[in-house]
Each structure stands twice: as C-alpha cells, then as structure tokens.
Amino acid sequence: MVKKVYKVDGMHCSGCAKRVTEALSRSCEIKKVSVNLDSKEVLVSFAKEENDDLVKSIIENLGFKLI
C-alpha cells in the first residue's frame, strides 16, 4: 500500500471532511482516507500506486482546491 499526504484548500468543518472522505473512499484505487482539518491535509492510502490526477479530480469536483 502506498500513502501520500495532500494539502487541500477550502475545508472548514467536519462536513467538508466527511464529503472529502466519502468521495475519495468511493474509488477502488483508494483503500483508506484520513482528513486533518487543522492542517488541511488528507492522507490517502492507495491500493497499488499513487494517482495524483484521480485525487485532484475528486477534490476539485467537490469545490475544494488541491495545493
């Protein structure tokens, strides 16, 4: 399993964190998601290899920005 931390701009509350977690978790390429609102970071554990384009697409479709 490969892990990567992403900085996300625009997350302000637990609702935002829940939306991000649920959206990323729907992908079969992603096995685990952990959101830290204080640092505005999302830790993503991938099944095989990291996929920055996938994460960026999902995050931006929710209205947030990947930094």
Q: What is the pLDDT of residues 30-44, one digit of tens each?
A: 999 999 999 999 999
pLDDT surpassing 90 at residue 18:
yes
* Positive or negative torsion for Cα 16, 38, 26, 67: positive
pTM for the whole thing? 0.93
CATH assignment, 2-66: 3.30.70.100
Considering the chain, what is the average pLDDT of its residues?
A: 96
The count of C-alpha atoms lying within 13 angstroms of the C-alpha of 56, restricted to the half-sphere facing its C-beta, is 6
Cβ count near 11 (within 10 Å): 21
DSSP-derived letter for residue 43 is: E
pLDDT surpassing 90 at residue 25:
yes
